[in-house]
Amino acid sequence: MTSNIKPNPLRLDIVFLKEFPAEDLILGLREIRPGSRKFTPTTLHTESKHNRYAKNRRTSMNSIEFC
């Protein structure tokens, strides 16, 4: 979750980061309703290697379910 990303103007709840040699690909998800645990894609863009997401805490995903 993105509670440690400040500022968070898009109010993203989950951020996926894919690193490439020249830039990073960012996919941001926002929870549909607080507590629903269902998310909608909010942003998909590239940023430079030195972006606000690159140095944040990372976690591994065990599973993901698409409805």
Higher per-residue pLDDT: 55 or 28: 28
Which amino acid is residue 21, in one-letter code?
P
Q: What is the per-residue pLDDT for 1?
A: 53
Residue 61 has pLDDT above 70, yes or no: yes
Residue 60 forms part of a structural domain? no
Q: Is the pTM of this model over 0.75?
A: no
Residue 16 forms part of a structural domain? yes
Q: What percent of the chain has pLDDT over 90?
A: 7
User: For residue 28, what are the domain limits?
Assistant: 1-52
Higher per-residue pLDDT: 48 or 3: 48
Q: What is the per-residue pLDDT for 11?
A: 84
Q: How many residues does the chain have?
A: 67
Residue 43 forms part of a structural domain? yes
Smallest Cα–Cα separation from 28: which of 13, 38, 50, 18? 13
Number of domains making up the chain: 1
Residue 59 forms part of a structural domain? no
Residue 58 forms part of a structural domain? no
Residue 3 has pLDDT above 70, yes or no: no
